Structure 1
Amino acid sequence: MSEQSRFMLVVSPLMQSNLAFERAAALAKASAAALHIVAFDYLEGLATASLVNEQALEQMRLGYVERHRQWLEDQARRLRNIGVHVTTEVVWVQSPLQEILIHLKEQPMNALIKALEHESLLSRVMFTPLDIHLLRECPVPIHFVSHVVHALPRKIVAAVDPFHRDGWYEGFNDRIVREAAKLADTCNAELDVIYAHDLSSHQTKEFGFETALTLFSSAKAQALFNAQADAFRKLSERNGIAPERQHMIVGNPAKVLSGYAEAYDIDVIVMGRIGSRAMGRLVGDTVEHLLYKMPCSVWVVSPQTLAD
């Protein structure tokens, strides 16, 4: 008998229910998975209040944590009533990132689910948000929930990128498609696979062209496009994706994917994030930007044991 899947839902310290609750409950129910809900509490005003002594402050913190624990249990009770196995936990900590990573190491999860916290560009530049830290460091798939129309996704897209000489990417693309297919099967959702064929300068240099203009002016342009189309088709076919579900679109990945998601009412887009050696290119240029621009939720597949 296979071990039961487990999801971890990270919630706000403000005792507010959100769309991530609905999505996590729906996914756990559909996949017969256990759901562990964790709140990492820290209220600056309460933690640094100067008008009371340390003992009183500690009692206030303990009281807040207990109220949050009871609130979470009330939410959990509702989910248990629909057949979801739920556990809850509240932790008082100023910087939740390391606590989340420790939790994932000590209690292996199939995915981390969290409501996306929308941040301004200035805020993201000045202070790296928790969501971006998780995007870069979380060892398990992360589901950033936003713009939820259906609690259980109905339309899912897997975004792949076979435009590389490095064979390292081939297996990762397969993992992205398999992860998306598993999610679609769980949700009984439609699955499409998209390759946004980017001919920008940083991509063409990988194939020996100084600029994209050189590529477009060369007879090799069509041959290169055909080769990438063939690689995309083989990737899709070996993962059981029907021809009508394969979409290769020329353009900037961020614009292509966000435009497609909006046009076709996509619920979740499944993407991959690369380790540190390609962080500036793939994550910095695509996933991080899309995270705040997509008109749907995002499921990010981590490299796991693949070499950085």
Structure 2
Amino acid sequence: MEMEIVMARFNKILAVIDPAALEQKSLQRAILLAHKTGASITAFLTIYDFSYELTTMLSVDERETMRQAVVDDRTDWLESIIQPLCDGAISIDIKVVWHNRPFESILFEVVENNYDIIVKGTKQHDTLKSVIFTPTDWHLLRKSPVPVLLVKDHDWPEDGNIIAAVDAGTEDDEHQNLNVKMTHMALKFSELLNGHVHLVNSYPGTPVNIAIEIPEFDPVSYTEAVKKHHTDSMHAHAKQFPIDVNHLYIREGLPENVIPDVANEIDAELVIIGTVGRTGITAALIGNTAEHVIDKLDCDVLALKPDGFECPIKR
């Protein structure tokens, strides 16, 4: 019996503006989504001038006047960018915030005003022709309670391919629920973009140390058993949704290799992944598999948290 699909809703989009970019990729993606969904957009810019720290000899009023002048200047700049993009069919508001930690200001805005998704552009390295992720990107991936869409340079054509990178072999309830959430989201975007949903699952190879230390260990039988478990689990998961069985990919290897390989093969326009939101020393030492995957992808990435995740950033 097929599961009833509860589609995600996008009513409010927060498009993060990059003050150093000539082309605002986040705003372009947000406008495309708004045209498809009817959502409103807030173009959100965080600014901070560190010379402000050197004005302690000024009065409180003088400091506030200086700060407001910078905010007004950036607001006028943002209005000049948005005006040519407004066609009357969508609503775009402007919000410029003075804050020295951009990711905190973004998360405050999301939580306080109930946004449904954050859209943020990535930076392009001029010499290496690769994407550079900023500390703000990583903080948002780990701490945002709502989906984060990181925009690269890949187009979003009609009839394109969308990947949900599931962990079908897991027996953990949180990860299973996240698999369902990612698949729902992939179906939502396939509906919006008239695209095709693909599910990708990687599974580990035979541990070399076991094969060496235990002579009677049969690595071939072990690998076949692991593959069968992940294949059966993937098919059981996919049966809950209207997904073509030919669009299931179950491959041996690390997620950071398997997912980008499949994305390149089918020229995916969007990859949806789950993030567990590690913080502190654990994140610094271990890192996050999702982040390693994102580094290797050329297309847009949508990162989701498990249900019940709470933003660790509080005012």
* TMscore range, shorter length: 0.7 to 0.9
Q: How is 1:1-308 mapped onto 2 (pairs within 5 angstroms)?
A: 5-14=11-20, 16-44=22-50, 46-48=51-53, 53=58, 58-81=64-87, 83-117=89-123, 129-150=135-156, 154-199=160-205, 211=210, 217=219, 219-276=221-278, 284-305=287-308
On the 8 A contact 1:153/1:268 being kept in 2, the answer is: no
User: Deviations 1:84-141 (Å, cap 9, x if unpaired)?
Assistant: 111110001101222222211111111110012468xxxxxxx981111111110000
Q: Which amino acid aligns with 2:47?
A: D
On the 8 A contact 1:112/1:143 being kept in 2, the answer is: yes
CA shift, 1:58, in A, is 4.2
On the 8 A contact 2:165/2:273 being kept in 1, the answer is: yes
How far apart, in 1, do the equivalents of 2:31 and 2:157 lie?
Answer: 8
Counterpart in the other structure of 1:206: none
Q: Percent identity?
A: 22
Q: Which amino acid aligns with 1:160?
A: V
Q: Mind listing any 5+ residue stretches in structure 2 that lack a counterpart?
A: 1-7, 126-132, 311-315
How far apart, in 2, do the equivalents of 1:33 and 1:114 lie?
Answer: 16
Aligned residues: 290
How far apart, in 2, do the equivalents of 1:284 and 1:200 lie?
Answer: 23
How far apart, in 2, do the equivalents of 1:153 and 1:212 lie?
Answer: 45
On the 8 A contact 1:153/1:267 being kept in 2, the answer is: no
How far apart, in 1, do the equivalents of 2:135 and 2:206 lie?
Answer: 28
User: Deviations 1:165-213 (Å, cap 9, x if unpaired)?
Assistant: 3233212101111011111211212221111223375xxxxxxx97477
**Partner SS for 2:202:** strand
**Partner SS for 1:238:** coil
On the 8 A contact 2:190/2:196 being kept in 1, the answer is: yes
How far apart, in 2, do the equivalents of 1:263 and 1:79 lie?
Answer: 34
Q: Point out 4+ residue stretches in structure 1 off by more than 6 angstroms.
A: 212-215
User: Deviations 1:237-268 (Å, cap 9, x if unpaired)?
Assistant: 21211111111122111111112222322111
How far apart, in 1, do the equivalents of 2:77 and 2:123 lie?
Answer: 21
Change (3 A) 1:69 1:248: same
On the 8 A contact 1:40/1:96 being kept in 2, the answer is: yes
How far apart, in 1, do the equivalents of 2:10 and 2:260 lie?
Answer: 34
Change (3 A) 1:50 1:102: closer
**Partner SS for 1:9:** strand
How far apart, in 2, do the equivalents of 1:239 and 1:11 lie?
Answer: 36
How far apart, in 2, do the equivalents of 1:184 and 1:227 lie?
Answer: 28
**Partner SS for 1:149:** coil
**Partner SS for 2:229:** helix
On the 8 A contact 1:9/1:36 being kept in 2, the answer is: yes
78-87 vs 247-256, greater mean Cα deviation: 78-87
How far apart, in 2, do the equivalents of 1:142 and 1:69 lie?
Answer: 24
TM-score (norm 1): 0.82
Q: Which amino acid aligns with 1:265?
A: D
